[in-house]
Structure 1
Amino acid sequence: MDDGQKVNGARIAVLDVGKTNIKLSAMTCDGIFVESLSVRNEVRSGPPWQHHDLDGIGDWLFGSLATLCRHHPLEKVVGTGHGSAGVLVNADPDDTSALPMIDYEQDLPPAIRDGYVPLSGDFFDRGSTIMLKAAHQARQLYWMQQVDPERVAQARWYLGLPQYWAWRLSGVPSAETTVLSAQSHLWNNVRKKWAPIVAGQGWKRLMPPVRSAWETLGPIRKDLARRHGIPERLSVLTGGHDSSLNLYRYQAAGMPDACVISTGTWIVGMCAATPLHQLDENRAMVLNSDVAGRPVGGVLTMGGREFSHVAGQGQEGNAADGALVSLLIERGTFALPSFGDDDGLFPGSAGLGRFEGPPAETPAQRKALAVLYAALLTWECIDALNENGLVALDGTFLRDPLYATLVAALRPTAETVYNLDSYGTASGAALLGEHETRHTPAPIALSLPAPFAGDREALRAYARRWRELANRHVLAKTRPAKGPTDDR
């Protein structure tokens, strides 16, 4: 596309910062994708720790935003990103960061890991269990403070990832509830207040004002706009957490209580109707927020990496064979959790993933077993969320049509739908642009899974047996979180 060509309809730019890739997309205000530019999210080695290249991302972002503005009559820009990222900054938006942004997938020094635990509060202060590696904004800030207390003392703000880029663009600092509630450990979403660790560690001065995800922070900074050739008319929104904005896409479409299961490296389940007293941190359950600040029950498990382990190599582009799934069910071939480094929904199962029954001998059988295993993990997530109503599936697992078919067959008395869009997070973020003026449901394309061609009763009996075997080697009992006992 040359610079003189403009596409009607795109009015908002969405910056989507993933762990591996970063995308800047031109979207319509109805959440329809028009054009996208992307770059890898590079991680550099320390010292003082592995960190993301904020300078390089900034150069790419500002140049790409100028390019998209030449292609489209953009009026707004909004950011979204994963929740395990915080950036400590000084007062000047051109001074990239006070300390490098920590890569959450690196191991922690034992002293940091052990020192943080007694400071972290109860489940509702954290919104999750204490996760692996360097997850959680509060723990990252604690690490920074232990390594370089002087720079932390001199810093001005500690910002979630979407709000960091909003600050770089607008110069206005902000915090936002979906990001804070994405297991930052900084915010108690039930009590709507900062978690005790914030005051306890002297961090209140670093916490910016809480703003709504759809709120306009201001126009793009004039000096930044002129430097990079970006129109000064562009306004900057607060932005929010990626999975929460994907959920918002369904809420904006008229499904406020839908249970949304997004799939990729993680299986992420979110449901605003889940009773808070049923959230069990020992079963990978978390407490998130929707854009309105309403508590949202969630569950996280690294289903994508487990899928890859079960499927093996060589079947990436091939669809699973339903007849082979039926054969595996008939023979009693099981893949049992967990193949990753975390327990997921089965406490004590990390690293104990195993196969039982006659082996899946061919690559096609392994692929069929992986899809069946993914459907069972999803079924377990839905059950943990106590959801007997509408479930919407989206994400990469839907590249295999049999996945949605199996999930639907495992819950025969409830409705299951799916969405094939590959830009759900960006769509939800774009819908923020008209949050306060939208009077009709936003468009979304939903489909019903094809019926399972095999023996449905045999499938459900297999699922019950799978759950029994999966729990057989559980090494720790689950304990529900103590807290509110409402049955919303």
Structure 2
Amino acid sequence: MSIAVFDVGKTNVKLFAATADGALLEHVAAPNRSLDGPPYRHHDVAALEDWLLDGLADLGRRHRIEAVVATAHGSGGVLVGEDGPAMPMIDYEQEPPPAVAGEYRRIAGSWRERGSAVMLGAAHIARQMFWIEAEWPDAFARATAFLATPQYWAWRLSGVAAGEVTSLAAQSHLWAPADGKPAQLVADRRWERLLPAMRPAWEALGCLRPEIAARTGLAPETRVLNGVHDSSANFYRYQAAGLSDLTVVSTGTWIVSLTDRSEGVDFDTERPARSCNADVFGRPTPGMLTMGGREFSSVAGDAPRRVSRETLARLVESGTMALPSFGPDDGLFPGTARRGFVEGPLGDDPEHRYGLAVLYAALLTAECLDDLPTAQTVALDGGFVQEPMFGALVAALVPRSRIIVNHDPFGTATGAALLAGHTTRRGPAPLSADAPDASGLPDLTSYRARWRESARNRSDPQ
């Protein structure tokens, strides 16, 4: 038996076949295209559905698909009617009209209610709903539900609409993760009718709709699971392996840190880059979110992809450092967007530039971890861990925790696949991870202190 996992990213989509214990067998990928409009920049979900169904048909010729589950980023959703989308799916990088954006900031509620900052573009499902309600009120009034992306695809495949806690807790501003209930905004706007009843990520909503089974050739009894937010799916991968007292740091375009440790966390005060999501059980998972991948690329540029302990020693000894922030986002240091720069004598040396980027990424990661409760185990995964020095540097910078590195590049898909066996699993799911080798690294204590002081001195607390 195999599980089909549909992984919807902002830029690309992937379709996997996986075993019930999360081993990935094969996958295909395609761009997640957007159309400029009208009525606004939006994702082409009709074309994406054709691609998904063709992919399921193809996988079904080689694998006996027992269940299908979708996972996705947390900034997308679709307003739906009886038979399909009531409005196109907004591309979350599309800016709403200024009046809509300004009014939304006024009504969005406290940080405790939101669980995230008010981000750029149309990044929050609540803001997308507010925008559509304001400018297309007739379509909004006729709609039957607003579904987060994983649940939209579950609905298209099964015909059953449901809510799910990890998807709504991921910066939708519709769910207060710290309190495990809908945000006050939902009642204030009278949006309850558009939010279906919550069901667990692992629950089978039903089987494939008959026309979908006929189109794909999959068995009519193929289960459709409710689905899950991508970072929470990755976190579940470690939970299914039996780990707790845990922080997971996933790296790529974003550095996403989530922890199951919530004691002592102030859920009432907004902090730079702080977030609060939920795990599949509905428990709050405090986190940090910063665009580390873009920062890394800005520093590394086209430098040769090689770094050694000797390179790192020279960078530290010379005091050469990258200071935030290079991209359009402030990240961990408010007021630093697009003000990033490199200082020190080796900053322009191509032989050291990649090493400087790795060191900078490790410092950003350590800063994220410092702003969360200390966990016994910190698991690193994603794109950065393909460079061994990254894990080694984080281990050196964060000696209070056990650091493990997971080299599986598709942890989201693995975690989503494991949901299919959630109620029948009798032991820990397999997990392959190792401890990084931090031996021979320079002492980073004073270097990190200087870097942090310089970064914070450039930061605007407002």
| Shorter-chain TM-score tier | over 0.9
Partner of 2:280: 291
1:110–1:283: structure 2 CA closer, same or farther, 3 Å change rule? same
Q: Decide which of 97, 116, 141 is 1:128's aligned counterpart.
A: 116
CA distance in 1, matches of 2:363, 2:39: 41
Q: Is the 8 A contact 2:316 2:442 kept in 1?
A: no
Q: Distance in 2 between matches of 1:443 and 1:209?
A: 32
Map of 1:230 onto structure 2: 218
In the alignment, is the contact (CA less than 8 A) between 1:312 and 1:363 conserved in 2? no
Query: Which deviates more, 201-210 or 224-233?
Result: 224-233
Offset of residue 274 of structure 1: 3.3
1:421 to 391, 408, 413: 408
Q: 1:207 to 1:276 in 2, by over 3 A?
A: farther
1:392 alignment partner in structure 2: 379
AA at the equivalent of 2:329: D
Change (3 A) 1:274 1:363: farther
Distance across 2 between alignment mates of 1:47 and 1:453: 57
Distance 2:359 2:262 in 1: 25
Provide the residue aligned with 1:281 in structure 2.
Answer: 270
For 1:66 and 1:446, the matched residues in 2 are separated by: 34
1:51 partner letter: H
CA deviation after TM superposition for structure 1 residue 347, in Å: 1.9
CA distance in 2, matches of 1:388, 1:434: 27
Q: Aligned residue for 2:390? A: 403
> Could you tell me how far 1:359 is from its partner in structure 2?
4.1
1:210 to 188, 198, 209: 198
Query: Contact conserved, 1:339 with 1:350, CA < 8 A, in 2?
Result: yes
Partner of 2:34: 43
Q: What does residue 20 of structure 1 align with?
A: 11
Query: 1:112: which partner in 2?
Result: 100
> What is the aligned counterpart of 1:453 among 431, 437, 440?
440
What is the CA distance between 1:361 and its match in structure 2? 2.2
1:178 aligns with 2:166: yes
What's the CA shift for 1:454?
2.9
Structure 1 residue 199 displacement after superposition:
2.0
What is the aligned partner in structure 2 of residue 483 from structure 1? none
Question: What is the aligned counterpart of 2:298 among 309, 326, 344?
Answer: 309
Amino acid in structure 2 at the alignment position of 1:220? L
* Cα drift, residue 72 of structure 1: 0.5
Taking structure 2 as the reference length, the TM-score comes to 0.97
* Matched residue, 1:466: 451
Using the alignment, how far apart are the partners of 1:265 and 1:452 within structure 2?
28
CA distance in 1, matches of 2:270, 2:89: 27
Matched letter for residue 242 of structure 1: D
Question: Which residue among 321, 327, 338 is the counterpart of 1:340?
Answer: 327
Q: What is the CA–CA distance in structure 2 between the aligned matches of 1:150 and 1:359, rounded to whole Å?
A: 60
Q: TM-score, normalised by structure 1?
A: 0.92
Whole-angstrom distance in 2 between the partners of 1:26 and 1:46: 34
Q: Which residue of 2 aligns with 1:365?
A: 352
- Tell which deviates more after alignment, 165-174 or 249-258: 249-258
1:56 is matched with which residue?
Answer: 47
Amino acid aligned to 2:67: K
Aligned pairs, how many?
461
1:195 positional shift = 1.2
Q: CA deviation at 1:172?
A: 0.2
Over the matched positions of the two proteins, sequence identity in percent amounts to: 50
Q: Deviations over 1:188-233 (max 9, x none)?
A: 1233322122122221111111000000100000122113433212
In 2, are the aligned partners of 1:31 and 1:430 still within 8 Å (CA)?
A: yes
| Partner-residue secondary structure (3-state), 1:282 | coil
Answer yes or no: is 1:251 the counterpart of 2:239.
yes
Report if the CA contact (8 A) 1:335-1:354 is conserved: yes
Q: In the aligned structure 2, how far is the partner of 1:63 from the partner of 1:331?
A: 56
Contact 2:57 2:215 in 1 (8 A): no
The residue type paired with residue 226 of structure 1 is A
More displaced 10-residue stretch of structure 1: 406-415 or 282-291:
406-415
Higher mean alpha-carbon deviation, 340-349 vs 83-92, is at 340-349
Measured in 1, the distance between the counterparts of 2:365 and 2:173 equals 26
CA distance in 2, matches of 1:200, 1:366: 51
Matches within 5 A, 1:322-341: 322-341=309-328
Q: Distance in 1 between matches of 2:94 and 2:103?
A: 17
**Aligned amino acid, residue 382 of structure 2:** G
C-alpha distance in structure 1 between counterparts of 2:370 and 2:181, whole Å? 30
What stretches of structure 1 of length at least 5 have no aligned partner? Answer: 1-9, 478-488
CA–CA distance in structure 2, aligned partners of residues 58 and 217 of structure 1? 19
1:17-48 Cα deviation digits (max 9, x unpaired): 01111111010111000011211100110121
Asked if residue 90 in structure 1 is aligned to residue 81 in structure 2, the reply is yes
Which residue of the partner structure matches residue 482 of structure 1?
none
Picking from 78, 101, 107, the partner of 2:89 is 101
What is the aligned partner in structure 2 of residue 271 from structure 1? 259
Alignment deviations for residues 382-435 of structure 1 (CA, whole Å, 9 cap, x no partner): 101122521110000011111001000112242111000011000000110111
- The residue correspondences of 1:373-392 to structure 2 (distance < 5 A) are 373-392=360-379
Q: State the alpha-carbon separation in 2 of the partners of residues 297 and 127 from structure 1.
A: 9
- Alpha-carbon RMSD: 1.3
**Comparing 76-85 and 355-364, the one that deviates more:** 355-364
* Whole-angstrom CA distance in 2 between matches of 1:233 and 1:91: 23
SS at match of 1:236: strand
